Structure 1
Amino acid sequence: MNTAGHSEATSPRGMELIPFRGLRYNPDRVGSLAAVTSPPYDVVVRPDGLHRLQDADPHNIVRLILPQAGSPSAGREQAADTLRRWLSEGVLTSDPEPALYVYEQRDTDGLLQRGLIGTLRVSDPAEGVVLPHEDVMPHIVADRAALMRATRANLEPLLLTYRGNGTAADVVDRTARHTPLLSTTTADGYCHRLWSITDPRDLAAVQADLAHHQALIADGHHRWATYRRLRAEHPSPSPWDHGLVLLVDTARYPLRVRAIHRLLHGLPVADALAAVADRFRVRRLGVSLPEALAALADASREGNAFLLAGDGAFHLVDRPDPALLARTVPADRPAAWRTLDATVLHATLLPHIWHIPENDPSRIAYIHDTAATVAKAEHDGGTAVLMHPVREEVVRDLARQGVTMPRKSTSFGPKPASGLVLRTMDL
């Protein structure tokens, strides 16, 4: 049974994962490998997390994936200059031969995840090789594309999953029994290890196995859309025909699914509650964050439910007016889509109740960390909208039907650390 959200059916031309010459930090030129890594660009909580990572080491990868300058264009040029300088100084060095990389993550709770990092052929949606399950925001795709053009690099892999439990997974596990290229433990407690696969027989076995499978985008919809845009801009064949990915076989290594929360700027909690009072049931919870999230989980079993925070308390908002939903939620999608919390938020609450455009980054932010979302709302005087995770089977069923979920509906993890292996188009 598929537990990751993608179809068991195969396409005539399945995944093509190609070896590449990885670009990696020279451990002799940086303070520590842990100090130069970062979460993916969209997980870094600005500005606190960004500043902390910049201060951790002058060569931290955030200086490439989230360059800070007077303007976006200046930031991109700064990132390109920084990458060139690190290459010339030997801070980053390329591996001698093309490889696929086995990447392992372990946490203190016993979670173990392994996958393959390589460059995947960028396919068209009609091929059904890579299945998205969320919409994307055009301005983010444009920003990522501009950064990749300027640096001529894939600076961090996106996360894909498939269901295999076959030869490729066997090669991954056999490789992980050897001495790794690198091993480091980051501040979040995760231990990261990396190996390379260069043996032609192993590479051929992996590629033959993957050719029979599809992948689900678990994390990185905007980067995949960026890959597709850049491929269209460059005559084929070119390095832009492929994009950097981490591919995890969830039959052997299941992922965790978490929610992505919303921070509504300029909307005090009192105003948000007043607007929903006659259309939802609202209850104030005088409890801690873990207890409030447990109450949200209970309410979500019965229907749509949200937690609002930012005024020092938690407010459980559930039981929406059915007539309101009938008027505002599009009826041309499957029932599983119409009843998603993210659908109700983006089709009903944001446009019709709170009058907030979802495409305006000055009004709405998407944050993965629950406590950080609440803290920012309290600090800024805005409203945190805390979400309950979508069940895996819902993601799977919608992806099978080709129906995309509202943007930022899910957070699969653990996510790969950025900075362990990069890809440049000029190698």
Structure 2
Amino acid sequence: MNKRGQAAEDGLHMIPFRGLRYVSERVGSLAAVTSPPYDVVVRPDGLHHLESADPYNIVRLILPQAASPVARNEQAAETLDRWLAEGVLAPDPEPALYIYEQRRGEILQRGVIGALALSAPDEGIVMPHEDVMPHVVADRTALMRTTAANLEPLLLTYRSDGTTTGASAVIERIIHESALLATTTEDGFSHRLWSVTDPADLAEIAADLTHHQALIADGHHRWATYLRLRDELPAPGPWNYGLVLLIDTARYPLQVRAIHRLLNRLPVADALTAVEGLFRVRDIDGPLPCALDALASAAAEGNAFLLAGDGRFHLLDRADAGLLARTVPADRPEAWQRLDATVLHAALLEHVWRIPDSPEDITYIHDTEAAVIQAERRGGTAVLMHPVREDVVRELAQQGVTMPRKSTSFGPKPATGLVLRSLSIDA
């Protein structure tokens, strides 16, 4: 097998599982119990909003609130057990793969949710493209170990030849049948879920996926958690698999957005003073959309960043070549060296601003407007980023090269709470 960039006969291996799903009669609405992935919830406003939406909202499992990490995890496990005992959540009667559809306007995404066999990065079957933060992996590992559950699917992508065969053919057949559930969340996305239990359909999907490798689009920390827990429990069993949503981007391309940085302890004035002479700095008049347009134009020519937090927008571009030569590691591919995230972390954060990559100093925020608002509230600096192209992400991943953590945000992301996987039921 070619480890990098080549399809392989021993590629992806996805198996059915007995999905845990909300019993619609026991909750206010399916939309009210769902949540974005744990790392997209903007604390504290988003957390409180979700908690108040329904007493059974999934956020009580993925982001439990208690005085200590141990207490939080135990609370999540107790909540999961109680919801199962009360019939709020119930396992499906037989193992299944699930077809999942998201739609809003012209955006349409369909894929397969299942339990995917875990593989190490050097096997080239599932390819990460970002580094992870050890403290986040430790946090997610403790939660998953205590609850013995995969509470939300990772988002993985692969590329077919675009024809309606294999998994795509099964998807196209199944979506004309009655769905297990259908709901519309407050972000305007409609969601539908179908189960696949027919042995012939399952075999068709399985045979197709053995010819493919997958890119982790969203969920690097949860993937690292899967691998850590598998290594803790090396005997064959349910921990050798992890819950994923697998999307064929040849048929359903994902959107790629940037993840912004909020520098909690660095005022904008200090940030600008430090970069004087090292970047060209221009003030951008107008509202946020105009500033983002200016960022996009500058990013087409080279590295560019938009600073906010003082009520204005400041565009940084045309980095000093000597600064980049001194700070950006030269032992990686040129495409990696040119990444905005690489230059931000290696040149600006580590060398110019001298900011450690710790939760106290840097907050990672997906929503652009939220990043600006939080920077203004805290007296810090929001560093707004321009998204990376998917082909660059995939090219680096195929070479086994990871990007700086939180470099991309692929979407739309699956709603959390539509289907869960219990490791004890799957045992």
> What TM-score does the superposition give when structure 2 sets the normalisation length?
0.97
For residues 102-129 of structure 1, the C-alpha deviation after alignment (integer angstroms, 9 at most, x for no partner) is 000001x311000000000001222211
Secondary structure at 2:109 match in 1:
strand
Equivalent position amino acid for 1:45 in 2:
V
1:133 aligns to what?
Answer: 129
Indicate if the aligned counterparts of 1:7 and 1:214 stay in contact, CA closer than 8 A. Answer: no
Task: Give 1:345's aligned residue.
Answer: 344
SS at match of 2:25: coil
1:33 is matched with: 30
Alignment partner of 2:152 out of 146, 149, 156: 156
The yes-or-no answer on 1:363 pairing with 2:361 is yes
CA distance in 2, matches of 1:313, 1:246: 40
Partners of 1:8 and 1:176 lie apart in 2 by: 31
Cα distance, 1:401 vs structure 2: 1.1
CA distance in 2, matches of 1:276, 1:173: 53
- 2:5 and 2:187 mapped to 1: Cα distance? 34
1:220-231 correspondence to structure 2 within 5 Å: 220-231=219-230
Q: Counterpart amino acid of 1:347? A: A
Asked if the contact 1:7/1:396 (under 8 Å) is kept, the reply is no
Q: Given that residues 260 and 368 in structure 2 are in contact (C-alpha distance below 8 angstroms), is that contact kept between their aligned partners in structure 1?
A: yes
Q: Deviations 1:377-397 (Å, cap 9, x if unpaired)?
A: 111111100000001221121
Partner of 2:424: helix, strand, or coil? coil
Alignment of 1:136-215 (within 5 A): 136-164=132-160, 165=162, 166-215=165-214
In structure 2, what is the Cα distance between the partners aligned to 1:233 and 1:396?
30
Query: How big is each residue's C-alpha offset from its partner over 1:293-334, in whole Å with a ceiling of 9 and x where there is no partner?
Result: 000000001110000001111100111110000000000011
In structure 1, the partner of 2:353 is: 354
Aligned to 1:3: none
- C-alpha distance in structure 2 between counterparts of 1:269 and 1:11, whole Å: 50
* 4+ long deviations beyond 6 Å: none
Please tell me the residue identity of whatever aligns with 2:187: D
Q: Deviations over 1:12-44 (max 9, x none)?
A: 411000000000001111110000000000110
Deviation of 1:228 after TM superposition, in Å, equals 0.4
Match among 76, 96, 115 for residue 73 of structure 2? 76
Quick one: percent identity of the two aligned structures?
70
**C-alpha distance after superposition, 1:29-77 (max 9, x if no partner):** 1110000000000110111111110111111001000111111111001
Instruction: Note if contact 1:11-1:127 (Cα within 8 Å) is conserved in structure 2.
Output: no
Cα displacement (A) at 1:8: 5.2
Cα distance in 2, alignment partners of residues 382 and 19 from structure 1: 47
**Alpha carbons 2:14, 2:115 under 8 Å: kept:** yes
Q: How does 1:156-305 map to 2 (within 5 A)?
A: 156-164=152-160, 165=162, 166-305=165-304
| Contact residue 281 and residue 317 of structure 2 kept, 8 A | yes
Unaligned runs of 5+ in 1: 1-5
Look up the match of 2:89. Answer: 92
CA–CA distance in 1 between the matches of 2:99 and 2:218?
A: 18
Matched to 2:413, the amino acid is K
Residue 354 of structure 1 and its aligned partner are, at CA, apart by 1.0
Report what 1:24 is aligned to. 21
**Matched residues in 2 for 1:396 and 1:117: separation?**
21
Check whether the contact 2:4–2:124 (CA below 8 A) recurs between aligned residues: no
Tell me, yes or no, if the aligned pair for 1:342 and 1:409 is still in contact at 8 Å: yes
- Aligned to 1:262, the other structure's residue is in SS state strand
Match in the other structure for 1:61: 58
- 1: CA distance between counterparts of 2:408 and 2:38? 16
Distance 1:235 1:297 in 2: 47
**CA deviations over 1:177-213 (Å, ceiling 9, x no partner):** 1110000000000000000000000000100000111
Residue 52 of structure 1 pairs with residue 49 of structure 2: yes
Alpha-carbon distance between aligned partners in 2 of 1:83 and 1:140, rounded to the nearest angstrom: 21
With the length of structure 1 as denominator, give the TM-score of the two structures. Answer: 0.97
Find the aligned partners of 2:45 and 2:378 in 1 and give their Cα distance.
14
CA shift, 1:235, in A, is 2.6
- 1:35 partner letter: A
Partner of 2:98: 101
Aligned partner of residue 24 in structure 2, secondary structure: coil
Offset at residue 399 of structure 1 (A): 1.3
Mapped partners of 2:122, 2:35: distance in 1: 34
In the aligned structure 1, how far is the partner of 2:33 from the partner of 2:45? 16
Q: Partner letter of residue 170 of structure 1?
A: A
Give the AA of the match of 2:117: R
Counterpart Cα distance in 1 of 2:316 and 2:5: 37
Q: Distance between the aligned counterparts of 2:203 and 2:301, measured in 1?
A: 49
Residue 312 of structure 1 is matched in structure 2 by 311
| TM-aligned CA deviation for residue 215 of structure 1 | 0.3
Q: Read off the aligned partner of 1:46 and give its amino acid letter.
A: R
